[in-house]
Structure 1
C-alpha cells in the first residue's frame, strides 16, 4: 500500500498544522484564506483532513497544548514510525507527570485521567494525518469498537498478537505504512488491557464521535 498526497494542498495543510497546532500561533487573516482555499477545493481527502483538524471550522479552533510536538510531526512526515512511536510514549509519560514522580516509563490506568484532552487530541491527530488514517489511537479505538470490544480479535486485527501470543518488541512489529491498520502507535500490553481500555474511554474521543 502506498500513501498518495496532493503535494500543494497537503503543504498548505502542513502550514496550518505547524502554525496553529505545533507553534500555537493566533489565527491570522492568512490562515483563514488558506483554510477557505482548501475548503473550496472540494476534494474528498482534503475536506476530510480539514474536518478532522478543524471540526468546528477555523474560527472556533482553540487548543491549549503543553508540549512542542514539532519533533513528532517531523518524524511522522518522514515516516520514521519507530522513532515516532518511542517519542509518543515519552510524551504520554511526560503529560502524566511521570518524569517528576517516578522512574517508570509506562502508564497505569490511573495515569490516563491525567492526560490533557487537547494534547492527546493533537498527538493522535498527527498520527492520523501523516499516515492517511492508517495509524492513531482513535483508529485503534474504532477497530476495537467495531469488533464489540473483543480484545483477542482486536489485538490480532492490528497485528500485535500471533495466535494469541503477544509479539516481541521491536523486531516483530512493522514500522512501515504497510503495517495493518491501527498497528501504531504501540501500547504496552504486558500488564493487560486495562490501560488501553481506559485510553479508549477517554473523553477526548467524544470530539471525534460528535463530528
Structure 2
C-alpha cells in the first residue's frame, strides 16, 4: 500500500482506519469512516452517529483528503470519495446513472446494506465507501462537491 500522510487539523488518529483498510476489512473500515466523518464534522454529528448535509462543509479539507487517500491507497484507486466524484461527474451528476455503475442499484432494486454489498476488491469501481450514504443524495452530494476536491488531483 502506498504511503499516506495521516494529516488532520483536528488531531484525529487515522491509524485505526489505515489498519482496517490495509487488512482488507472493508465493512469495518466503512463503519469507522462514517464515525471519523462525524467526528470531523462536529459534536452534533458525533453524538448522532450520522451527518446532516449541512455539516459536511465543516469537515476540514485535510481530513477528508486523508480519509479519501487511505481508501484509494488500500484499493488500488478503486474506492474513495474522489473516485465516486469522478464517476459522478462522468455521468453529468446524474444519480440514476451513477447507482448501477457503482453497484448500489440494479434496475429497480436497491442494494441492501450490508449483505448485498461487495466488501472486497471485486466490487465495482466507486462501490465503497458507503459511510451510510444510502439515506439520500444530499450528504453524498455535499461530500462529492466538498472544497477538498478543488485544486486537487482527487
CA-to-aligned-CA distance 1:113-144 (integer Å, 9 cap, x gap): 11111000000001001110010000000000
Does 2:92 align with 1:186?
no
User: What is the Cα deviation at residue 64 of structure 1?
Assistant: 3.5
**In the TM superposition, what whole-angstrom CA distance separates every residue of 1:153-185 from its partner, at most 9, and x where no partner exists?**
101100011213321110010000110000000
CA RMSD of aligned residues (A): 2.0
Q: Partners of 2:118 and 2:45 in 1: how far apart?
A: 32
Is 2:89 the partner of 1:128? no
Name the counterpart of 2:41.
96
Give the deviation of 1:190 after TM superposition: 4.4
Q: Does the CA-based 8 Å contact 2:87-2:126 persist in structure 1?
A: yes
In 1, Cα distance between equivalents of 2:141 and 2:74: 25
Q: Which has the larger radius of gyration?
A: 1
User: What's the TM-score, normalizing by structure 1?
Assistant: 0.67
5+ residue gaps, structure 2: none
Q: Which runs of 5+ in 1 are unaligned?
A: 1-9, 25-62
Output the CA distance in 2 between the equivalents of 1:186 and 1:155. Answer: 12
Cα separation, 2, equivalents of 1:108 and 1:157: 25
Q: Distance in 2 between the 1:206 and 1:103 partners?
A: 29
Higher relative contact order (CA 8 A, sep 6+): 2
Query: Partner residue of 2:14?
Result: 69
Q: Counterpart of 1:155?
A: 99
